[in-house]
């Protein structure tokens, strides 16, 4: 996805409720990290750092609800989802606290920050919420 700049300034793609933005400048960082392709160890990382690790060959698109981004690998599988906080999310949940990063494989399994598979519907159980919190995102 390409977001054009206006008058040399980055175009803003999304701003979360606390004023953090994803802009064309953020998207331009995609694939620039020496760790590009390594999606582990992103707990607490900035949006810029996360996007810099997304492989350059992946494409991006807005989330269906328009509150973040989805990244797709070269084969068209959704592999990463990044969205801002949600006021409707349960108290204490990752989605209520700040940016949420979801990393998945081609089968749709989600992974935590250490690369372990998180059980399906993990956010609906006490153990699952603890596993998802371990991502720090």
Q: Alpha-carbon distance 130 to 63, whole Å?
A: 25
In the block, residue with structure tokens 């720090």: 136
CA quadruple 20, 123, 103, 107: dihedral positive or negative? negative
Q: Does 73 score more than 60 pLDDT?
A: yes
Q: What letter would DSSP give residue 122?
A: G
Lookup: tokens for 74: 């070269």
Tell me, what's the pLDDT at 71? 93
Contacts by 98-105, CB closer than 8 A, 24 or more apart: 98/18, 98/137, 99/16, 99/20, 99/47, 99/137, 100/68, 100/137, 101/42, 101/45, 101/50, 101/135, 101/137, 103/39, 103/79, 104/78, 104/79, 104/80, 105/79
Cβ atoms of 23 and 102 within 8 Å: the answer is no
Over range 26-42, report the average pLDDT.
Answer: 91
Q: Does 33 score more than 90 pLDDT?
A: yes
Tell me, what's the pLDDT at 99? 73
Tell me, what's the pLDDT at 19? 60
pTM value > 0.75: no
Q: Does 37 score more than 90 pLDDT?
A: yes
Q: CA 96: distance to chain centroid? A: 15
Q: How sure is the predictor about 97, in pLDDT bands with cuts at 50, 70 and 90?
A: low
Could you tell me which residue, 12 or 4, shows the higher pLDDT?
12
Tell me, what's the pLDDT at 1? 45
Q: How sure is the predictor about 5, in pLDDT bands with cuts at 50, 70 and 90?
A: very low
What separation, in Å, do the N-terminal and C-terminal C-alpha atoms of the chain show? 23
Tell me, what's the pLDDT at 29? 93
């Amino acid at each position: 996805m390409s977001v054009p700049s206006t008058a040399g300034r980055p175009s803003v793609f999304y701003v979360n409720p606390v004023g953090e933005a994803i802009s064309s400048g953020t998207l331009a960082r995609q694939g620039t990290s020496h760790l590009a392709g390594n999606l582990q160890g992103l707990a607490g990382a900035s949006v810029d750092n996360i996007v810099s690790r997304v492989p350059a060959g992946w494409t991006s698109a807005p989330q269906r609800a328009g509150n973040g981004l989805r990244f797709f690998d070269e084969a068209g599988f959704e592999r990463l989802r990044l969205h801002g906080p949600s006021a409707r999310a349960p108290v204490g949940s990752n989605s209520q606290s700040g940016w949420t990063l979801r990393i998945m494989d081609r089968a749709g399994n989600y992974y935590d920050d250490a690369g372990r598979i998180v059980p399906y519907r993990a956010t609906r159980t006490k153990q699952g919420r603890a596993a998802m919190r371990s991502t720090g995102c």
